[in-house]
Copies of this chain bind each other. A is one copy, B any other.
Amino acid sequence: MPFDISDDFLDNLSELITLDKSKEITALFAEVHFADIAEVLDEVDFDEAIYIIKLLDSEKTSEILTELDEDIREKILENLSAQEIADEVGEMDSDDAADIIGELSVERQNRVISALEDDELAADIKELLSYEENTAGALMAKELVKVYETWTVAGCMRRIRGQAKEVTRVHSIYVVDKEEKLVGRLSLKDLIIAKSDQKIAEIAKDKVDAVNVSEDDEEIAKIMAKYDLEAIPVVDDNHVLLGRITIDDIVDVIRDEADKDYQMAAGFSQDVEVNDSIWEITKARLPWLILALFGGFISVSVLGSFDSAMDQYPELFFFTPLIAAMAGNVGVQSSAIIVQGLANDSLKGSLFRRLLKEILQGLLNGAVLAGLLLSAGMLFLGFPLNLGFTVAASLVSVIIIASIVGTFIPIILAKKGIDPALATGPFITTSNDILGILIYFTIAQLVLGF
């Protein structure tokens, strides 16, 4: 079902733009969904994108701008006047409008807002821009359908006909008292089923979930997912109805959050996409690699300090990458499971029980792996038994310590208000590498006595 952007389509489009055949281009896009046109604009040359944006009417381009990749949108907005941008955002819902205006410089923001024809939208956008990022206020839209508890069903139907035209999707009708405080909600279905002379207060559900305007967006995502909500009203500290958040915005929050955690675990210091420039990707990759390099220096020093073992037990040094790799892998596993547990609030039990569990868990994994190492490894690689036992004992110790480090670093970060996902990436691998090598050679020194 999704529209497929073929090379033929793009070639055809390019030719039409070169020949300035505006009617044909408009016709070409007439039946195409704005999300698909946004993808076309991601593909074509920048001049062509500007041409198309200026050609299509603002009802369509406003939707396209909302869907566009932020980098490309930024460049397009630079090429539009304040009045042109105002015409575009004038067609948008207040939340999308505020998001896009928020990307401009403060000086351009003011010019665009002054150029808006609709004073109410201008006020709404100003309000939305005033809320902090990643809060309910920054996420919500001002558009909603609101009725007073004293109205009748018939009066309500008449009045919401007007309001509903402004609101893309109705979901719920919010019921407020005379002080604009949220007191209940009802669905269009409830209205249709009700008798026309009933009072709204009689048919409204008085239990209505709402979030405070300063609530964190990830928390809202959890609430909406948990209670299967498709929209949630936003209120201020006095429970006055301010706006509503719809599930499509929350889907974006969930996807962004998952992407962020995934990228942190993979060792990116900022949000990157596969088609970003080499320079942007390098900027995101280098910080963690530099950290890993310095971690590497430490392991070089640790190994250097044990160089007296080299004459007698050169094989010890062959096992360092194995020990370091196991420490790294085990650490990432432990931290990933904790990060997920923290993310969905399912981490239970005391820290002591958690510690005990990790030790047992490390012992179990370590025993299996040490057994394999001893049997298969020693048989085939033919190393002396005392060396084999040293490596095996180190492996078990390293696995237990790496599990504990992997478990508690994210817990500590979370307690300090730092995103625990930070702990799953090169940070854990690097510190466990060093720790693993140190433990390994210390045990070897104790056992073999060099």
Instruction: Tell me the bound Cα distance from A248 to B251 in angstroms.
Output: 10
| A193-B165, A282-B361, A293-B326 known; A258 vs B262 contact (CB < 8 Å) | yes
| Seed contacts A192-B192, A225-B255; 8 additional CB < 8 Å A-B pairs | A170-B188, A254-B255, A268-B333, A268-B337, A288-B329, A307-B314, A310-B314, A325-B430
CB closest chain-B residue, reference A318? B303
Contacts of A273 in B (CB 8 A): 337, 340-341, 346
17 contacts between A and B (CB under 8 A): A33-B227, A35-B228, A169-B230, A188-B188, A188-B189, A247-B247, A267-B329, A274-B341, A278-B360, A288-B329, A289-B365, A289-B369, A290-B368, A299-B318, A321-B433, A325-B328, A329-B429
Q: How far does the Cβ of A155 sit from chain B's closest Cβ, in whole Å? A: 14
Please give the residue numbers on chain A whose beta carbons come within 8 Å of chain B beta carbons, in ascending order. 1-2, 31, 33, 35, 43, 157, 160-161, 164-165, 169-170, 187-189, 192-193, 207, 209-211, 222-228, 230, 247-248, 250-252, 254-255, 258-259, 261-263, 265-268, 272-275, 278, 281-282, 285-286, 288-290, 292-293, 295-297, 299-301, 303-304, 307, 310, 314-315, 317-326, 328-330, 332-333, 335-338, 340-341, 346-349, 357, 360-361, 364-365, 368-369, 372-373, 376-377, 380-381, 424, 426, 429-430, 433, 437
| A228-B248, A338-B274 known; A325 vs B324 contact (CB < 8 Å) | yes
Lowest 7 CB-CB distances: which A-B pairs, in order? Answer: A296-B322, A274-B341, A266-B336, A258-B258, A303-B318, A188-B188, A317-B317
Cβ-defined contact, A300 with B281, below 8 A: no
Q: How far does the Cβ of A40 sit from chain B's closest Cβ, in whole Å? A: 13
Contacts of A193 in B (CB 8 A): 161, 164-165
Q: How far does the Cβ of A369 sit from chain B's closest Cβ, in whole Å? A: 5
Instruction: Tell me the bound Cα distance from A255 to B259 in angstroms.
Output: 11
Q: How far does the Cβ of A387 sit from chain B's closest Cβ, in whole Å? A: 11
Q: Describe A's contact surface by its main secondary structure.
A: helix
Q: How far does the Cβ of A126 sit from chain B's closest Cβ, in whole Å? A: 25
Interchain CB contact (< 8 A) of A262 among B262, B296, B315 = B262
Cβ-defined contact, A368 with B325, below 8 A: no
Cβ-defined contact, B209 with A192, below 8 A: no
Cβ-defined contact, B329 with A426, below 8 A: yes
Instruction: Tell me the bound Cα distance from A251 to B272 in angstroms.
Output: 23
Interchain CB contact (< 8 A) of A381 among B301, B320, B424 = B301
Interface centre among A292, A333, A346, by most chain B C-beta atoms within 10 angstroms, is: A333
Cβ-defined contact, B297 with A317, below 8 A: no
| A192-B161, A297-B322, A314-B307 known; A368 vs B337 contact (CB < 8 Å) | no
| A329-B267, A333-B268, A348-B275 known; A340 vs B259 contact (CB < 8 Å) | yes
Contacts of A262 in B (CB 8 A): 258, 261-262, 265, 336, 340
CB closest chain-B residue, reference A298? B322
Cβ-defined contact, B304 with A315, below 8 A: yes
Cβ-defined contact, A325 with B304, below 8 A: no
Cβ-defined contact, A210 with B1, below 8 A: yes
Cβ-defined contact, B278 with A251, below 8 A: no
Cβ-defined contact, B318 with A321, below 8 A: no
Cβ-defined contact, A324 with B324, below 8 A: yes
Q: How far does the Cβ of A245 sit from chain B's closest Cβ, in whole Å? A: 13
CB closest chain-B residue, reference A220? B1
Cβ-defined contact, B433 with A278, below 8 A: no
Q: How far does the Cβ of A294 sit from chain B's closest Cβ, in whole Å? A: 8
Cβ-defined contact, A2 with B223, below 8 A: yes
| A273-B346, A300-B381, A322-B300 known; A1 vs B209 contact (CB < 8 Å) | yes
Q: How far does the Cβ of A51 sit from chain B's closest Cβ, in whole Å? A: 21
